[in-house]
Structure 1
Amino acid sequence: MKILMVDVDGVLVHGRPDDGMPFATDLERDLGLRLDVWQREFFKPFWPDIVTGREPIEPRLTAVLREIAPHLEAERLLRYWFENDSRLDRKLIEDLARFRAAGVALYLATNQEHRRAAYLMEELGLRRYFDGIFYSAQFGHRKPAQDFFRLATEKAGAPPEDIVFLDDTLENVEAARMFGWQAVHWTAGMALKTAIAPFAAAAVTKEFR
């Protein structure tokens, strides 16, 4: 294993910073926007193009809010979303750092649009812990598309068999395996050392002794 790819939501990030609840738990109370309406009018019709970089999020979100929540500005909603979907798994970050110290390159491999990808790296500070981010809007393809894994492999500069991948979505894990990555279906309570033990060299796993 030379490279460890890590998904974001459901693996590294788990909801609101204070309690881990979904970021939209109090959306209607706080911003006067019903989640089901937002999902129906924005995410269902427009998200596929936004998350694959075919269009930016701001103009489309502004237009939708003008119809469903004219009191609410797009920038305020984006800030609320990003800040309330930012609880980091600190134990996992600590464990990942030990692998990085042992010479393993760490990358995020995630379905994100441009704005949140930048927020994760810069404002949430994940650039301190990872060597980079590979995301769907950057590539024009989202997991589980094989083109996502192909482009991430090319950018990483390593053979597929040298890449280990953690993702909480089984469909993504199976697609990664199909491409040749060593993929782990990440579940709650899983320990990093145990999860990747079959793929990690002894020189790396000894960091956990």
Structure 2
Amino acid sequence: MKAMMIDVDGVIVAHPDPRGWSVNLERDLGLKVEVLQEKFFAPNFEDIVHGRAALRERLAPVLAEIAPHLTCDQLCDYWFRADSHLDHELLAELAEVRARGVELHLATVQEHERAAYLWETMGLKDRFDAMHYAAALGHAKPAPGFYAEIEARTGFAPQDLFFIDDKAANVEAARARGWKAAVWTTGRQRLADLLAEAGL
């Protein structure tokens, strides 16, 4: 193993409430999560997360319709801060792996703005060697192109990589390309155990 590819949401970032970052959205910002999902995420996020549209370009007109009291800045700031609960125990284990000379890369489905927030504002750039995300790659997991583009950008062969993700479909897609991969369940396992099971 020359590098580990690690998912973000559900792995590095794990909200303490299973309902996620929007659990208190209506209470805090006066916006029903169901309305935001129906009017913004469902019709727009596929384009945004694949880099075909900018987040604010799609969000601004929706907010003007469903929550004129909110700006894009207010909603994005709330979203990114509420969705920033790091798993420090896992990060400590990953730091030990990195200290042994294994590169750590993030492999995640993000749009450009949250990717920058994770990398810069949350400081993940200090803990990882690189970040590969859907809007920059033009592909999202579990599409084969997501994994192929990471291989092309890093120069790593599939057999050099070990990938962890909280979704079985994403893990299976990685294995189909020849990566070693395992499903991560927050709070139920240790990284060392997954590495041992994978023969690493």
Q: Which bin holds the TM-score, normalised by the shorter protein?
A: over 0.9
Match in the other structure for 2:13: 13
Structure 1's 154 and 198: CA in aligned 2 closer, same or farther, altered over 3 A?
farther
How far apart, in 2, do the equivalents of 1:94 and 1:21 lie? 26
* SS of match in other structure, 1:164: strand
CA distance in 2, matches of 1:190, 1:121: 25
1:55 is paired with a residue whose SS is coil
1:36 counterpart residue number = 34
1:56 to 51, 54, 57: 54
Partner in structure 2 of residue 78 of structure 1: 76
The gaps in structure 2 that reach 5 residues or longer are: none
Paired residue for 1:160, among 135, 158, 161? 158
**Residue 21 of structure 1: how far off its partner (Å):** 6.2
Structure 2 partner of 1:169: 167
1:100 match:
98
Structure 1 Cα separation of the partners of residues 155 and 127 of structure 2: 19
Q: Does the CA contact (< 8 Å) of 1:173 and 1:185 recur in 2?
A: yes
Consecutive unaligned residues of structure 1, counting only runs of 5 or more, are 202-209
User: What is the alpha-carbon distance in structure 2 between the residues aligned to residue 57 and residue 44 of structure 1?
Assistant: 13
Instruction: Give the residue type in structure 2 aligned to 1:8.
Output: V
Name the counterpart of 1:204: none
Q: Which residue of 1 aligns with 2:138?
A: 140
Q: Which residue number corresponds to residue 195 of structure 2?
A: 196
Instruction: State the shift of 1:199 in Å.
Output: 4.2
- Look up the SS of the partner of 1:109 in the other structure: strand
**What is residue 131 of structure 1 aligned with on the other side?**
129
Residue identity opposite 1:193 in structure 2: A
The 8 Å contact of residues 20 and 87 in structure 1, kept in 2 or not, is answered as no
Give the match's secondary structure for 1:197: helix
Residues 14-37 of structure 1: CA distance to partner in whole angstroms, max 9, x if unpaired?
Answer: 126xx7862111100111110000
- Counterpart amino acid of 2:57? P
Provide the aligned length of Structure 1 versus Structure 2. 199
Per the normalisation by structure 1, the TM-score is: 0.92
TM-score of the superposed pair, with normalisation by structure 2: 0.96
- How much is the aligned-residue C-alpha RMSD, in angstroms? 1.3
2:18 and 2:104 map into 1 onto residues whose CA distance is: 24
In the TM superposition, residue 196 of structure 1 has moved relative to its aligned partner by 1.3
